[in-house]
Structure 1
Amino acid sequence: MSIAAINRYPVKSMQGEALTRTVLDERGVVGDRAYALLDVETGVVASAKVPKRWPTLLQFAAAFTADPVPGEPAPAVTVTFPDGSTRRSDDPDIDQALSAVLGRDVKLITTPPEGVGFEEIWPEIDDLAPQHVIDATTARREDTGEAISRFDVAGFAPPGRFYDLAALHVITESTLARLRELAPDSRFEVARYRPNIVLAETGDGFVENDWPGREMTLGDGVRVSYTFQTMRCIMTTLAQQDLPEDRDVLRTVAKHNRVDITKREVAGRWACAGVYADVTAGGEVAVGDPHA
């Protein structure tokens, strides 16, 4: 096994950066999800997981202007807008420019406010998530009637970043290959899943299902402890770059890889692809490094 790709997403729910090497610390890839947009009206972090409210968010891209350094404030980012124009995060009118395109009043922030959360819609797809979790977290409903849940940012990760749940997200090429076999008319590309680490795993099928509870090594001494499988959501179905909108992407996962998760508030049977991890010993990793 080896690292096939490394990705960092400087701004939550925007396109990110492909890296050849990076540093991992206790909060995952240094600089990952360091920025987010705060919706001024609701006080909720903007997320493409509610596509009707944020229909263009995934069409933005962000890249750091300098390499992030562990333990130091995140450097400025260059934000590329859907029309190809760019602005820096430290431009005085960045919030106004973002708000104008998004159609909502937003602020670009680097510090999560106390108790801040994000929203996620539950599409009408069978066997996607435990109903008791949906019922317990529903904050409002879309005009379609679909439930929209609210979750705390970084529910199982060290504070300070804008993760959904965990600090590090890993997926294997064998999982993507298996999904392509199951639904050859859909496109199961890495971009849909937004992992930090893609592994060139030579096993068969959803190999990372068996990793929670195991500690493994990336590169020369970086240690990760796999915690629970990655529950998939509407984000994987959205149009982005040259990928079309396709809910069959998520239906395929829900039909063929439902996993029992015992992790506290999210306990239940979920549609999964990939795995979350904590970084127990940090350091530098690069594409091509071994995973064992």
Structure 2
Amino acid sequence: MSVRDRSGSRARTEGQTMTETNDRGGAVRVTGLYRYPIKSCRGQALAAADFDHRGIAHDREFVIVTPDGTFLTQRQLPRMALIAPELIDGGIRVAAPGMGPITVERRVEGDRLWVEIWKDRAVGIDQGDGIAAWLSAFLGLPVRLARMAEDHVRQVDQTYARPDDQTGFSDGYPILLVTEESLAELNRRLVGRGEAALPMDRFRPNIVVAGGGVPNEEDTWGDVRIGDVSLHGVKLCARCAITTTDQQTAETSKEPLRTFAGYRKFPRGVMFGQNMTFDAPGSMAVGDTVAVMSRVDLALV
């Protein structure tokens, strides 16, 4: 039957609980899990992911900001792609080309600052002068590193989510899911135009799945179960200039946005991947099967 979703904005069709299978009877499975400890910096591949109240644990836990608290990303500073954070016990180690790595203790208490992120204001804990000087030297302008305060709640856009859905320093949603089939379709089109195929890291997903055999099928996924985590597709992901930045070299180009404009253009922009919320903390692992519990009407997305 057709039902309204939790935000009242997308119609869902519910059916029998099922594990998605392709036309050969193979299951759809998780092929990649990723977190990005510092927003807009290099990600970390995970064999398994634990979810806390904000999403995958430690995802977008930190953000680089201007001295007045405005968030910075690869949109303004493509070199941020070269900053490689690594979470260690009680702290974070950060490396970048031409810089000696720096290790700092994770500050849970300290100077508080307002972080401006799009239309939101979040509370961050300043992580100190040492890491600020290191990042400023690499990026070529004065910046600070902030960690989201543990007692702060950043609510997900209520147009699409429930009152208790929250996120860290993501652009707006705790989880981004993309299928390998969607990337393969993009690359087929890119190669057909004489352009190079692109890796998945251009799109900075949290969950990558494969096996359905249909490109962009995730557009219609409503309620999804992976491991012991119940996810909800709430909004297609509008893609920005970060997708044009090579995540290994920080070089920029016009692709894939130019190609997306030819086949993934929606009223709110070019879309690729599904933003998701989730019910409660849990865990999932690479190799887990994907159970799609309901679908949404793409015409209403």
CA contact 1:222–1:284 (8 Å) conserved in 2: yes
The residue that corresponds to 1:48 in the other structure is: 74
Q: Tell whether 2:41 aligns with 1:14.
A: yes
Which amino acid is 2:210 matched to? Answer: A
1:236 to 220, 228, 243: 243
The residue that corresponds to 1:109 in the other structure is: 146
Specify which structure has the higher proportion of strand.
2
CA contact 1:154–1:163 (8 Å) conserved in 2: no
Percent identity over paired residues: 28
The residue that corresponds to 1:29 in the other structure is: 56
The residue that corresponds to 1:206 in the other structure is: 216
Between Structure 1 and Structure 2, whose CA radius of gyration is higher? 2
CA contact 2:82–2:249 (8 Å) conserved in 1: no
Deviation at 1:272, TM superposition (A): 0.7
Deviation at 1:201, TM superposition (A): 3.5
SS at match of 1:48: coil
The residue that corresponds to 2:30 in the other structure is: 3
More divergent stretch after superposition (79-88 vs 273-282): 79-88
Which amino acid is 1:44 matched to? Answer: T
Call closer, same or farther: CA 1:226–1:255 in 2, change over 3 Å. same
SS at match of 1:105: coil
Describe how 1:254-269 pairs up with structure 2 within 5 A. Answer: 254-259=261-266, 268-269=267-268
The residue that corresponds to 2:3 in the other structure is: none
Distance in 2, Cα, partners of 1:7 & 1:44: 25
The residue that corresponds to 2:101 in the other structure is: 86
TM-score (norm 2): 0.71
Q: Tell whether 2:204 aligns with 1:181.
A: no
Deviation at 1:37, TM superposition (A): 1.0
Which amino acid is 1:60 matched to? Answer: I
5+ residue gaps in structure 2?
Answer: 1-27, 106-127, 292-301
How many residues of Structure 1 are paired with residues of Structure 2 in the alignment? 232
Q: Tell whether 2:191 aligns with 1:192.
A: no
The residue that corresponds to 2:271 in the other structure is: 272
Q: Tell whether 2:253 aligns with 1:227.
A: no
Q: Tell whether 2:260 aligns with 1:245.
A: no
SS at match of 1:110: strand
Call closer, same or farther: CA 1:55–1:172 in 2, change over 3 Å. closer
Deviation at 1:230, TM superposition (A): 0.7
Distance in 2, Cα, partners of 1:161 & 1:271: 24
Q: Tell whether 2:87 aligns with 1:64.
A: yes
Deviation at 1:243, TM superposition (A): 7.7
Distance in 1, Cα, partners of 2:139 & 2:246: 17
SS at match of 2:268: strand
SS at match of 1:63: strand
Distance in 2, Cα, partners of 1:77 & 1:61: 10
Deviation at 1:160, TM superposition (A): 6.1
Describe how 1:92-103 pairs up with structure 2 within 5 A. Answer: 93-103=130-140
Call closer, same or farther: CA 1:236–1:153 in 2, change over 3 Å. farther
The residue that corresponds to 2:226 in the other structure is: 218
Which amino acid is 1:89 matched to? Answer: V
Deviation at 1:167, TM superposition (A): 0.5
5+ residue gaps in structure 1?
Answer: 67-74, 113-151, 260-267
Distance in 2, Cα, partners of 1:79 & 1:16: 12
TM-score (norm 1): 0.73
Q: Tell whether 2:47 aligns with 1:39.
A: no
Q: Deviations over 1:193-247 (max 9, x none)?
A: 0000101132222111112xx111002x210011011111100001221585331
Which amino acid is 1:290 matched to? Answer: T
Greater RCO (CA < 8 Å, at least 6 residues apart) = 2
Distance in 2, Cα, partners of 1:60 & 1:100: 12
CA contact 1:60–1:81 (8 Å) conserved in 2: yes
Distance in 2, Cα, partners of 1:290 & 1:83: 42
